[in-house]
A = this chain, B = another copy of it.
């Protein structure tokens, strides 16, 4: 157990996107400074961070400089190159730990880990070649989804297989990468738990939000989600089980399918999560501050909310709706400082307050 970080300390963040931006702002509220490591220039996080080391993840000298200037390191995305993490870890603590990253970087490892905990997951099988794929389809059936094991996000690196004859085309989409075939889960809706675990092992969860996706990208999260009291309890308990098993420190997003036979874990993300953005306007301590608190060894917030909230992502040209949103006093706007509104690009989000939490 380490001492809590004192205000004035610096938190290093790997990745300079919108999650790093909102982590930086939350850190500033607790008196921390932030240093962003990000190869790209003019990145969203750099606008609000104390400093920005702009270098590729292969630049050992820059990584050393970064590590020397910070007191702890965290990350805003799960695909940080292993070699960079090896070097940083030899110099300064990384939170959440490497185990969480290793598990979530590989869909196959993740599924095996979750199954090993006794949690329900979609039927799955490893697919390295055509023979594997035929066997997997035999076992799991169609429709199913073929996904690359690594580096997938927002629906990228995925191919739907509606019938066995589509197998070859789907495999070609993987471009030779190791893949996993996942069977479909018959679910009514998706929810996610934003769970946090502190340095002392304490766990606190925000109430689950209900997610709606469009074209593979999160579109809307509403809190509270449609869940029975028993499902709500299950959701929180299974999230805690995952965090404890990984000796996790920080915030994790746990996506769950709601089915007639119970909750099925879709995936986990070892970081603050898009479906937790509602907490910025629904809670005293939001997911970003919760993550900073965990990583800094501070007590966690209790996850309570004062208001019900609907979070709406602004993807690409959705950002043109800002003038309308700005006229609505119940809507909080959160823009990421990205210059160009490309299709599929997350430009910002809005949180609409729905009234006091019951």
Contacts and interface: CB of A to CB of B under 8 A. Distances in A.
A331 B33 contact: no
A42 B122 CA distance: 52
Interface stretch (A20-28, A142-150, A243-251, A261-269): A20-28
Interface stretch (A55-63, A68-76, A90-98, A334-342): A334-342
Contact of A334 (B29, B281, B303, B304): B29
Contacts of A205: none
Contacts of A353: 284, 306
A307 B306 CA distance: 8
Interface stretch (A185-193, A215-223, A293-301): A293-301
Nearest to A356: B356
A302 B329 contact: yes
A233 interface: no
Contacts of A47: 28, 33, 50
Interface string A1-37: 0001001100000000000010011001111010000
A348 interface: yes
A82 interface: no
A83 interface: no
Given A48-B24, A356-B356, A335 B301 contact: no
Contacts of A293: 326
Interface in A306-358: 306-307, 319, 322-323, 326-327, 329-337, 339, 348, 351, 353, 356
Contacts of A329: 284-285, 301-304
Interface of A: 4, 7-8, 21, 24-25, 28-31, 33, 46-50, 281, 284-285, 293, 298-299, 301-304, 306-307, 319, 322-323, 326-327, 329-337, 339, 348, 351, 353, 356
Given A7-B319, A29-B332, A281-B284, 5 more contacts: A25-B25, A28-B47, A33-B337, A48-B50, A285-B329
